[in-house]
Amino acid sequence: MKKLNLWLLASLFMGGLALTACSSSDDDGGNGGNQPAVTPGTSVNPANMKMSALSGFVRDTDGYPLAGVTVTSGTESTRTDGQGGFVLSKVNSKNGRTVVKFEKDGYNAIVRAAENLDGDIWEVVMSSTWSSTVTTDNYSSQYDRTIGIQNMAVGLQGEGYVKDANKTPFSGIVSSTVQYLSPDDKDFAEMMPGGDLAAVRSAENGGGECQLISYGMTKVDLTDYNTGEKLQLADGMPATLSFPVPEKFKDSKPDQIPLWSFNEETGLWEEEGIATYDADNDVYVGTVKHFSWVNLDYPEVRVRLKITVKDEKGNLIPGIKVDIDAQKNVTTNNKGVVSTYVPKNTKFYVTIHSEDYANYAEMDPMVIDPLSEDKSITITLPTVAHISGKVVNQGEGNNVATVWIEYNGKTTKRMHTDVDGQFYIVAPADYKGEAKLKVRGGDGRIKTADITLDGEDHAYTINFTSDINAGGKGTFKFKGKTYDFNFGEVSVERDGGAVIMGNSFYAETGYPDSEEGEMEGFVRGIIQISGFSADKTSYTLGDKDYINMGLEGQGGHMMVMFVSGAKVTITQNGNTYRIQASGKAMGHGEEFGWNKEPDNEDNLGDATLDITVPLYARGKKLTDVTSANNPLPSWAPILKYTPANFALAVTESPAIGKGGVMMYYADTLTIDYYNELKAAAVKTLGDPVSDYNYEGSSRAMFYKDGKYLYINFDNYYNESNRPDFTENVIGTYNLTYAQSRIGIVAYDGYTLYTPDIRKMPRKRQ
């Protein structure tokens, strides 16, 4: 069996992260090639829109979209895009309720549930494991321990733990994570599990469903500090919970309030105990025998509230989020209506916030007196203009997209199109003038069209190309345990895709949208095949080939690499490539023992990979390239005094246009040659957008009207240590960074540039 240097590969994997900059989640650079074709269209009647089974958006507690969240309902799974959006065509239903799980490394997983409503739209907030709502602690299991967060306390008994898997007593160091959600928090309704506060009473209290009024909830996770194994409370050793009285309920303090646990299978809260009011400390105190989510809630009989939202002209308004007493949020359907349960005999308010409707002046909350029966209400909002129309995808994917408007430094709410690509956006009430209509397709790329907002309704047809590439999945089976690698969408804007240079095939899944995303955790895959042919689909992994799956981020580091002999299939469909692999693989990381030699056969397991990627670039390798046969655009400067040792000619790419890379290694080349190239570039393209000089290394980047130019000098390289690009497989990074003594990279029709220097194309340095 081939011995593999996994330590070296791990270093390369990490090094690739440390030496990259952020890539843009927005293709908009102002060049014409990036503009979608926009023509006058037909106005959309939202009542005729056919929404997917469930869609929505996920954000963090600071309001920023969360990309890469895994959204799972039954057997259906997807990942949120760069705007935090998700679309599910089918949902898992449990007794008439939709149940969905949201997961992302570095964030607290959450299960949301609601009545089955076809075309429902959800807004979900996920809290970071480092947020102010979470506290962590490590302590000996021998002693009593009290853990406090935001005036809420969890009291644990010494020697009161068992291993969750087999219920055997546990003794050692306990690692605890406690999360507390307060009803006073502005995001309470969107952060809580369940989401609609539907519950089932205990048999002693007659059973049956009820509607809760939450006084706060907590989640406690206990693990073995050394192994990560889950722990629970031992029999007869309950924990004591003390809940502070929320500010909003200071005038409503029943003597007792039931405690509830959350059932993630049904999406319902189940009654499990009681908490008693302690007037001396102004807290509710109760005990629990096991930990999941625990909710301190007052139960009420349910009545149904139907809310219709329309404007002053009588137009029904879809997609509007309605806040019900900060305890739950609901969104109007395509007919401007939402129907939901509320607690009987309870006074509450209903409101629509300014940011959820055109940034108009905030409406006064509508106070609803205690209800004794079902009720219908109507909310009338100011009349504003609407931008509607249809997105038409001329690529491989469907017409589903995310659409929004950016104007005067602000952004409207993002909206999903329906299954046919129809969209309907409320235009801002506080602005008239030039604006940008943004469309994000299934492949993750954003297209921008210039429009004018004048207070009138307008309709557009937007033609663009978006090849949907849903990513894929990998698995690694090691000593009876299966590790899953769930790859999100693969898009060229995040350096994902396939690069085909002659007989070299390289594909990767790319990076998160931001440096923060890299820190939070992500999954990455790399595939390299050296003997590729467009006429061949089946391959056997050899010494020059490489397939890797890696996890990075706060959750740690794990790498799995297929070994020689693995079977690989590559099939092409238009400008997308599906890569399937199966065979033996080596595991590297904490899970497999850091102290072992990485190529030790004790780390060997069975792996699979099935992933689809878009074309990033297609071209060929060249050697001994002169000014007469160079692949660069005619406006690009080149060295006339010496041929380039290697060159890459890009003949087709949806991301970087046409052009290529020239790499020179002659020992005689000095910084003077670089300065000459730079001076010529300034005459053609103006001043560089990025300019760097440091101890024998210089580089400059230029961009103008879709023309991208990168030149560099690095005195480290010469004839003796030049890379052999005739043998190497070429990756996405080789196409925008010249690893050479003097390098020139130039493209016409470049679409990945943005003026924000922090979002420049990624480079390996």
Whether 546 and 13 have beta carbons less than 8 Å apart is answered as no
As given in the structure block, the two tokens for residue 706 are 């879709």
Domain assignment present for residue 482? The answer is yes
DSSP 703-748: EETTEEEEEEEETT--TTS---TTTSPP-GGGGT---SSEEEEEEE
Rounded to 5, what percent of the chain is helix, strand, coil?
10, 45, 45
> Confidence band (pLDDT; 50, 70, 90) for 730?
confident
For 157-292, where are the E strands, in sequence order? Answer: 161-163, 173-181, 198-200, 209-224, 230-233, 239-244, 256-263, 268-278, 283-288
**Nearest CA to 28 among 617, 735, 755, 757?**
755
Task: Give the chain's radius of gyration (CA, Å).
Answer: 29
- For 300-357, write each residue's pLDDT tens digit: 999 999 999 999 999 899 989 999 987 889 999 989 999 999 999 999 999 999 888 9
Domain count for the chain, please give it.
Answer: 4
Domain assignment present for residue 383? The answer is no
The Cα 262–Cα 290 span in angstroms is 12
Domain assignment present for residue 458? The answer is no
The Cα 391–Cα 402 span in angstroms is 10
Domain assignment present for residue 412? The answer is no
Domain assignment present for residue 538? The answer is yes
The residues near 245 (Cβ < 8 Å, ≥ 6 apart) are 215, 253, 282, 283, 284
Domain assignment present for residue 20? The answer is no
The Cα 683–Cα 696 span in angstroms is 24
As given in the structure block, the two tokens for residue 630 are 């160079």
Structural domain boundaries enclosing 306: 302-370
- Which of 30-44, 62-76, 221-235, 396-410 has the weakest average pLDDT? 30-44
Domain assignment present for residue 417? The answer is no
**Nearest CA to 659 among 685, 677, 640, 638?**
638
Strands of the sheet containing 54-60, edge to edge, are 85-88, 54-60, 120-126
Query: Based on the domain organization, do 248 and 357 belong to the same domain?
Result: no
The Cα 142–Cα 237 span in angstroms is 13
Sign of CA dihedral 427, 85, 553, 99: positive
Query: Based on the domain organization, do 252 and 288 belong to the same domain?
Result: yes
> Confidence band (pLDDT; 50, 70, 90) for 52?
confident
For 22-129, where are the E strands, in sequence order? Answer: 37-40, 54-60, 70-73, 76-79, 85-88, 92-94, 97-103, 110-115, 120-126
Query: Based on the domain organization, do 719 and 640 belong to the same domain?
Result: yes
Query: Based on the domain organization, do 221 and 324 belong to the same domain?
Result: no
End-to-end CA distance of the chain: 34
Query: Based on the domain organization, do 539 and 612 belong to the same domain?
Result: yes
Q: What is the length of the chain?
A: 765
**Nearest CA to 548 among 471, 443, 476?**
476
Classified as helix, coil or strand, 160 is coil
For 488-521, where are the E strands, in sequence order? Answer: 497-501, 504-508
Whether 328 and 45 have beta carbons less than 8 Å apart is answered as no
> Confidence band (pLDDT; 50, 70, 90) for 761?
very low
User: Which residue do the tokens 């739950």 mark?
Assistant: 328
**Nearest CA to 750 among 665, 635, 594, 602?**
635
Query: Based on the domain organization, do 311 and 229 belong to the same domain?
Result: no
Mean per-residue pLDDT for 46-65?
87
Chain centroid to Cα 87, Å, comes to: 13
The pLDDT value recorded for residue 36 is 63
Last-in-domain residue among 617, 647, 665: 617
The pLDDT value recorded for residue 494 is 72
The predicted model scores a pTM of: 0.60
The Cα 689–Cα 700 span in angstroms is 8
DSSP 58-69: EEETTS-B-TT-
Query: Based on the domain organization, do 529 and 568 belong to the same domain?
Result: yes
- Determine the residue type at 400: V
Sign of CA dihedral 404, 406, 407, 412: positive
Query: Based on the domain organization, do 490 and 588 belong to the same domain?
Result: yes
Mean per-residue pLDDT for 93-121?
87
The residues near 228 (Cβ < 8 Å, ≥ 6 apart) are none
Query: Based on the domain organization, do 754 and 663 belong to the same domain?
Result: yes
Query: Is the pLDDT reported for residue 128 higher than 50?
Result: yes
Last-in-domain residue among 280, 300, 320: 300
Query: Based on the domain organization, do 697 and 723 belong to the same domain?
Result: yes
CATH of the domain at 359: 2.60.40
The pLDDT value recorded for residue 614 is 87
The Cα 446–Cα 26 span in angstroms is 5
**Nearest CA to 192 among 99, 122, 124, 286?**
124
Query: Based on the domain organization, do 737 and 638 belong to the same domain?
Result: yes
CATH of the domain at 139: 2.60.220
> Confidence band (pLDDT; 50, 70, 90) for 13?
very low
Output DSSP code: residue 681: H
- For 603-640, write each residue's pLDDT tens digit: 788 999 999 888 899 999 998 898 888 999 999 999 98
Average confidence score pLDDT of the chain:
84
**Nearest CA to 89 among 459, 419, 470?**
419
Last-in-domain residue among 559, 589, 617: 617
- For 168-218, write each residue's pLDDT tens digit: 999 999 999 999 999 999 889 889 998 899 999 999 998 899 999 999 999
The Cα 618–Cα 597 span in angstroms is 38
The Cα 544–Cα 13 span in angstroms is 17
Q: Residues of 565-588 as b/e, b for ≥16 C-beta within 10 angstroms?
A: ebebebeeeebbbbbbbbbbbbbb
Domain assignment present for residue 391? The answer is no
Query: Based on the domain organization, do 631 and 594 belong to the same domain?
Result: no
Identify the residue with better confidence: 217 or 70: 217
Whether 41 and 454 have beta carbons less than 8 Å apart is answered as no
